[in-house]
DNA sequence: GTGGTCTAGACCACT
DNA sequence: GTGGTCTAGACCACG
């Protein structure tokens, strides 16, 4: 589990965990019936509160991506990777569209928006 | 002052006010030395607490967009177009960066992100 | 009455009026039994609210520098110019001392404080 | 945290808190990454509203002296000595300027003001 | 009338 | 537990 927490960005930690586990499932690095690290071990590994990891796992289970078996652990559910991919793509699309619309409301030209985008993407 | 409060979204009310007043300044609907509605009248109009409006006005003043005169009112500050443009550009940059980072967390390649971006921008 | 209002500084307008009339009395430009401009005329002249002028006159009367005769006007009281001078000097002394002490608390050297003072006085 | 609130003076409570925390940082009693008392605990300790403490903390963060992490607490920011020194110098400058202006409003000559200043500084 | 401060308590999100 | 927002109402100072 190579999960990276960015404490300085404004995305909540539990959401970063959810996003990255979804990504691992989509890419096939986590397959159906694979077991996730325990709440405690992951919290130790990431040096964050166990409650935060728990919140992420709860969210994943609520969305149907995992199944928790009491006393045993949390397992990857029978996931529809295609569906997941489509969902994530749509989420990204929505975010990008919202950003672009905001830029246009601000009177920033499409050319400027594009160059800004490329600047960030290239790093 | 046509300010619209969306209570159902997660953006704080005072921030919605700040954004919309900035927008009015940018679009020239509020000009230098124009007076903003009083804290109390706007709070009455929007049916929200006066403190919430005050918080918005404090934020605007802190960012240099307005000047408050005790006992008189809050006025649009001078020479803020440049400031506003820079500010908005940074805001757009932050939004784009966040979207890109989310895409990467989802394991979507930069190429895919770029093509999605172009699709939205062109479409 | 050459009273100058500085709207941009943080001293309340009514206090500026009080200070300057005290100064006129001290310098002998306003003598015992001289009549002050009416509230209305001074408010017109300074382009400020009549209530603000009234507040200044009330303050002066409260401190014993003027006497108001209903229906006639406001007159300079039998003033003790020496006393006034001493009072104002002490007030200035207190302000300067407080500023110097604050600077020292901040760890700023006397030399720096002095050069800052000279800069402001000359500038 | 030995913060003392003076209810009888006209300086707002939140500003007194801001000033004293800045002072603690300047004197090194609060170092980089130190955590400030929580809003609630300080409000309990000082027997004031939590909102008042929050306003002080917001001000400190706005001025770059602290960093607030949601759900964790408020921490002393890095590299603020320079900032603080500049800030304090400006504060002293404002106080001195105000004193000088008051002296001039009182009709006291610059020479008199200077000699008074020197008297206090040397004395 | 205006803005400035403060209270006491509520509900929410994050850890 | 933490901070973040919001309310409804109070009192003060300035114009």
One-letter-per-residue 3-state SS of D45-65:
HHCCCHHHHHHHHHHHHHCCC
Is residue B8 over pLDDT 90?
no
Q: What is the pLDDT of residue B91?
A: 86
The one-character DSSP state at A35 is: B
Q: Which helix (H) or strand (E) holds D14?
A: helix D13-26
Q: Tokens standing for D35?
A: 């955590």
C21 touches C30 (CB < 8 A): yes
Q: What is the pLDDT of residue A7?
A: 78
Report residue C79's pLDDT band, with 50, 70 and 90 as the boundaries: low
Contact at CB, C121 and D113, closer than 8 angstroms = yes
Mean pLDDT of the region C86-112 = 87
How many Å apart are CA B92 and CA A101, to the nearest integer? 10
Sort out which chain A residues have CB atoms less than 8 A from B22's CB and list them.
none
Asked if strand F contacts C79 at the CB level, meaning under 7 A, the answer is no
Asked if strand F contacts D109 at the CB level, meaning under 7 A, the answer is no
Q: What is the pLDDT of residue A15?
A: 92
Is residue A34 over pLDDT 80?
yes
Q: How far is CA D59 from CA B23, C41, C44, D21, D105, in A?
A: 25, 43, 39, 11, 33
How many Å apart are CA D58 and CA D62, to the nearest integer? 6
Mean pLDDT, chain D, rounded, equals 90
Report residue C101's pLDDT band, with 50, 70 and 90 as the boundaries: confident
C35-44 pLDDT per residue, tens: 999 999 999 9
Q: How far is CA D83 from CA B4, D32, D33, in A?
A: 38, 13, 16
- Give the three-state DSSP class for D12: coil
Report residue B53's pLDDT band, with 50, 70 and 90 as the boundaries: very high
Residue C107, min C-alpha distance to chain D (Å): 9
Q: What is the pLDDT of residue C86?
A: 87
Is residue B38 over pLDDT 90?
yes
How many Å apart are CA B32 and CA B77, to the nearest integer? 6
Mean pLDDT of the region B91-120 = 91
Q: Which of A92-101, B2-11, D57-66 has the highest mean pLDDT?
A: D57-66
A66-88 pLDDT per residue, tens: 998 888 899 998 867 788 888 88
Sort out which chain C residues have CB atoms less than 8 A from D23's CB and list them.
105
**Binding partners of B (≥3 Cβ pairs within 8 A):** A
B68-88 pLDDT per residue, tens: 999 999 999 987 777 788 888
**Protein CB footprint (7 Å) on chain F nucleotides:** 1-10, 13-15
Q: What is the pLDDT of residue C85?
A: 87
Tokens 């000088």 found at: D100
Q: What is the pLDDT of residue A79?
A: 67
Mean pLDDT of the region A35-60 = 92
Mean pLDDT, chain C, rounded, equals 89
Detail the protein residues whose CB sits closer than 7 A to any atom belonging to strand E.
A 12-15, 48-49, 51-52, 55; B 10, 36, 38-41, 50-51, 54, 57-58, 68-74; D 12-15, 48-52, 55, 69-72
Report residue D28's pLDDT band, with 50, 70 and 90 as the boundaries: confident
Sort out which chain A residues have CB atoms less than 8 A from B103's CB and list them.
92
Report residue D55's pLDDT band, with 50, 70 and 90 as the boundaries: very high
Query: Residue D27 CB: number of other CB atoms within 10 A?
Result: 10
Nucleotide closest to D74 measured between CA and C1'? F3
One-letter-per-residue 3-state SS of chain B:
CCCCCCCCCCCCHHHHHHHHHHHHHHCCCCCCCCECCCHHHHHHHHCCCHHHHHHHHHHHHHCCCEEEECCCEEEECCCCHHHHHHHHHHHHHHHHHHHHHHHHHCCCCHHHHHHHHHHHHHC
Contact at CB, C96 and D117, closer than 8 angstroms = yes
Higher pLDDT, C106 or D15: D15
Interface of A to B at Cβ within 8 Å reads 6, 9-11, 16, 19-20, 22-24, 26-27, 88-89, 91-93, 95-100, 102-103, 105-108, 110, 112-114, 116-118, 120-121
Residue B24, min C-alpha distance to chain A (Å): 11
DSSP chain C: ------TTSSS-HHHHHHHHHHHHHHTTSS-TTPBPPPHHHHHHHHTS-HHHHHHHHHHHHHTTSEEEETTTEEEE-S--HHHHHHHHHHHHHHHHHHHHHHHHHTT--HHHHHHHHHHHHH-
Nucleotide closest to A16 measured between CA and C1'? E14
B106 touches A92 (CB < 8 A): yes
**Residue closest to A86 by CA, chosen among A30, A11, A22, A3:** A22
Report residue B100's pLDDT band, with 50, 70 and 90 as the boundaries: very high
Mean pLDDT of the region D45-62 = 94
C9-47 pLDDT per residue, tens: 778 999 999 999 988 988 888 888 899 999 999 999 999
The one-character DSSP state at D29 is: S
């Amino acid at each position: 589990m190579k999960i990276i927490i960015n404490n300085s960005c404004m995305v909540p930690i539990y959401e970063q965990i959810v996003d990255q586990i979804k990504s691992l499932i989509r890419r096939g690095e986590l397959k159906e019936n694979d077991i996730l690290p325990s709440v405690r071990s992951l919290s130790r590994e990431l040096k964050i509160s166990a409650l935060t990891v728990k919140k992420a796992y709860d969210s994943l289970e609520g969305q149907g991506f995992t199944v928790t078996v009491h006393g045993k652990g949390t397992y990857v559910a029978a996931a529809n990777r295609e569906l997941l991919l489509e969902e994530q793509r749509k989420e990204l699309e929505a975010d990008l569209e919202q950003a672009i619309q905001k830029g246009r409301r601000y009177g920033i030209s499409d050319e400027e928006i594009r160059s800004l985008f490329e600047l960030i993407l290239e790093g």
